[in-house]
Amino acid sequence: MPVLAEIQLILDLMNSIEPPPPPKDEAELLARMRATIGMMQEPVNEALAVASVEDKVIESRGLSVPVRVYTPKNRPVALMVYLHGGGFSIGSIDTHDGLARRYCGNGSMVVVNVEYRLAPENAFPAGVDDSLAVTLWAQENAGSFGLRPEQVIVAGDSAGGNLAAVTAQTHAQLLRAGKINAPLAGHIMHCPVTDMRYGADDSYPSRRENASGYMLTDEMMRAFFHFYSQSGATPDDVRVSPLLAESLTGLSPALLLTAEFDPLRDEGEKYAEALRNAGVDVTSKRFDGTIHVFMMFSSLACAQESDALVFEFVNRVAS
């Protein structure tokens, strides 16, 4: 189907801005991308049923990770660890503050918005380590919010969706090894990147069909991986490309949402298929006419539909 009218308005606005001259170096490119995503931050919606918002630093697995904790006015149904998107190198708890508040207030969830370390200053596996550390902390501290460890969900969009997938895989491995006791309630991936092998482009038509013109571009993805792999990470590492895991058996229930006009569409849907083939409880949906991380724009009807699916999934798996 064609791009939705409400999405086209966003694209037209972006395309109306005169592009700056080419960056002088990688540092300038990174600074520009960080400034651009910063403009996506939505104003605080005071009408949401959020009782409190607290910035703190949690200590877990030898790491100190800044987080922002949102507590709902209603009794929480789950605790969500949220991992923001941004190609592992841009984005923050501020850019995703609006989304976290929606999930807390409208979904009656405690939300822990994670300020994981970014590349290239802190390349792979810093973000992976921080994500797992906060997830384990959430389970250990769920009782302080009136919840059980089994009511913790890990979620994320784009690069954060990748981190959610990797965290869910690692968590399942620790559970099988007897190193932790409680399973996750589930994991949620919005428009995730699941395969960083750019030589595999022929396997994913969406990378060619949506390579430019729909906000996230192929050029941006290659730049993000360049920053992320400064430590020598390779795309064949399953903690970089979770689709390459030898086994997905035993993972917690999953919700995976994709967008038609997203270069990451096909690899996300292939990951959903792989989870399903491994016997994982998977709910997946492609949002036609939409673009990458459309759920960030709360006024869009498709974002509201996405929220409804998230809340339905959380209530089912965390009850």
- Catalytic site residues? 158, 262, 292
Residues 6+ apart with CB under 8 A from 275: 248, 251, 254, 256, 282
Geometric angle at alpha carbon 48, from 46 and 54, rounded to 5°: 80
Helix axis angle, 218-228 relative to 26-38, nearest 10°? 110
Determine how β-strand 282-291 pairs with β-strand 186-190.
unpaired
* 75 contacts: CB under 8 Å, gap ≥ 6: 108, 146
Which residues share a beta bridge with 57?
A: 66
CA 212, CA 118: separation in Å to the nearest integer?
A: 25
Please give the C-alpha separations between residue 154 and each of 100, 141, 188, 204, 219, in angstroms, as whole numbers: 13, 15, 6, 26, 28
Sign of CA dihedral 85, 125, 218, 242: negative
Q: Are 64 and 129 in contact (CB under 8 A)?
A: no
The residue with tokens 């877990």 is: 60
Kindly state the tokens that stand for 276: 């399903």
**Of the candidates 35, 44, 26, 49, the residue with the CA atom closest to the CA atom of residue 224:** 26
Relative to beta strand 109-114, strand 63-72 is antiparallel
DSSP 292: T
Would you state the structure tokens that stand for residue 3, as one six-digit string? Answer: 């791009």
The DSSP bridge partners found for residue 82 are 113, 155
